[in-house]
């Protein structure tokens, strides 16, 4: 974990710019500053890490507005990169905890923030978001441009381990976002849809142009907003069993549930009996079931 200070100042407005002049300029990064920072740090955005940096200030402010970020609340951000969205969150007075896996980016971020928004409340955790189990300040909101290749696992990990996160907005690949917000019966309804619904309600909150990123990605992006349920659906034990059923159902989504769920529940006859006790038709398929239906099957399996 790092805090502002301890690293020689590096100027996001160009290596030869006057720091005082830079401070007087806009509090967000623009395309030139982002490219200067990347060159200075030797960062070449890679598909492996899902690095596509937002270079448009209007888009940053739009995300912050859609997320309804309020002053003084603690927001967790995953993959802050060069700091575009971080600065937008800090600009409205939020306290930001940024989780960054790239050591170069993690070390530079506090320096950039201190230069552009002196005294802003930033904490940086240099780690893989999938391994983070402690976040200071009990964040109430998640706002992030999630790396495309790990967006769903990271989102579910944070919702599982940090119940203080009550709401948020994530920017993800459009296809992923549509799955997260899909309802039963939809063609894109699947495992991410059901698992996301365990935690709360998800909805699409607007598309994002490819042109606001550097480098320009080959996929479309979308904002997905969510609000956590007021009360947890069930215990952790039932969550694990329910998610196992969900995985089994969608790994063989063309099969009837009495067949696909036999991997978890036993043979087809046993699966049919369990589903019947749960009030679920054994001949239906996973895309027709709500998270409550899967939970009912888990309860029936456990004898509750």
SS3 266: coil
Annotate 90-142 with three-state secondary structure: HHCCCEEEEEECCHHHHHHHHHHHHHHCCCCCEEEEECCHHHCCCCCCCCCEE
Q: Please determine, for residue 11, whether its predicted confidence score (pLDDT) is greater than 60.
A: no
Domain C-terminal end among 181, 199, 228 = 228
Residue at 123 is within a domain:
yes
CA atoms of 139 and 127, how far apart (whole Å): 17
Task: Give pLDDT, residue 61.
Answer: 97
Q: What's the CATH code of the domain at 40?
A: 3.40.50.150
CA distances from 175 to 45, 104, 191, 282 (A): 22, 30, 13, 29
CA atoms of 158 and 267, how far apart (whole Å): 34
Residue at 32 is within a domain:
yes
* Average pLDDT of the chain, as a whole number: 91
Tell me the two tokens of residue 87: 């600065």
pLDDT in tens, 94-138: 999 999 999 999 999 999 999 999 999 999 999 999 999 999 999
Q: What's the CATH code of the domain at 286?
A: 1.10.8.100
Do 253 and 294 sit in the same domain of this protein? yes
Residue at 9 is within a domain:
no
Residues 6 or more apart whose CB falls under 8 angstroms from that of 126 comprise 1, 2, 100, 101, 103, 106, 107
CA atoms of 180 and 164, how far apart (whole Å): 20
- In percent, the amount of the chain with pLDDT more than 90 equals 84
Residue at 59 is within a domain:
yes
Task: Give pLDDT, residue 46.
Answer: 66
pLDDT in tens, 27-63: 899 999 999 999 999 998 766 656 789 999 999 999 9
Task: Give pLDDT, residue 52.
Answer: 86
Do 162 and 298 sit in the same domain of this protein? no
Identify the domain containing residue 283 by its residue range: 236-302
pLDDT in tens, 236-291: 999 999 999 999 999 988 899 999 999 999 999 999 999 999 999 999 999 999 99
Residue at 13 is within a domain:
no
Q: Indicate the pTM of the whole model.
A: 0.89
Do 279 and 296 sit in the same domain of this protein? yes
Do 223 and 295 sit in the same domain of this protein? no
Task: Give pLDDT, residue 8.
Answer: 39
Residue at 2 is within a domain:
no
Domain C-terminal end among 228, 254, 283 = 228
Domain C-terminal end among 183, 203, 228 = 228
> Hunting for tokens 């002049």 — which residue is that?
21
Residues 6 or more apart whose CB falls under 8 angstroms from that of 179 comprise 152, 188, 189, 190, 192, 193
Rounded-to-5 percentages of helix, strand, coil across the chain: 45, 15, 40
Are 224 and 205 within 8 A, CB to CB? Answer: yes
Do 167 and 274 sit in the same domain of this protein? no
Residue at 4 is within a domain:
no
Do 93 and 197 sit in the same domain of this protein? yes
């Amino acid at each position: 974990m790092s805090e502002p200070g301890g690293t020689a100042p590096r100027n996001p407005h160009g290596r030869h710019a006057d720091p005082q002049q830079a401070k007087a300029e806009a509090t967000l990064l623009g395309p030139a500053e982002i490219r200067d920072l990347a060159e200075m740090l030797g960062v070449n955005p890679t598909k492996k890490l899902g690095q596509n940096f937002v270079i448009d200030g209007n888009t940053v402010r739009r995300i912050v507005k859609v997320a309804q970020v309020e002053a003084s609340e603690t927001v967790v951000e995953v993959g802050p990169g060069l700091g575009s969205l971080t600065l937008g969150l800090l600009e409205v007075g939020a306290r930001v905890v940024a989780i960054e896996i790239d050591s170069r980016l993690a070390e530079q971020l506090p320096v950039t923030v201190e230069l552009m928004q002196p005294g802003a409340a930033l904490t940086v955790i240099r780690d893989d978001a999938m391994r983070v189990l402690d976040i200071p300040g009990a964040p109430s909101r998640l706002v992030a441009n999630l790396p495309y290749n790990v967006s769903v696992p990271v989102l579910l990990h944070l919702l599982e381990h940090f119940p203080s996160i009550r709401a948020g907005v994530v920017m993800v690949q459009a296809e992923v976002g549509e799955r997260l917000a899909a309802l039963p019966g939809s063609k894109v309804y699947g495992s991410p849809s059901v698992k996301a619904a365990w935690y709360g309600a998800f909805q699409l909150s607007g598309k994002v142009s490819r042109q606001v990123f550097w480098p320009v990605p080959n996929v479309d992006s979308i904002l997905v907003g969510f609000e956590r349920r007021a009360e947890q659906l069930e215990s952790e034990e039932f969550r694990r069993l329910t998610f196992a059923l969900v995985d089994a159902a969608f790994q063989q989504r063309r099969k009837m549930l009495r067949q696909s769920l036999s991997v978890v529940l036993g043979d087809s006859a046993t699966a049919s009996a369990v589903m019947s006790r749960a009030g679920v038709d054994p001949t239906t398929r996973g895309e027709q079931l709500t998270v409550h239906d899967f939970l009912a099957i888990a309860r029936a399996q456990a004898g509750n």
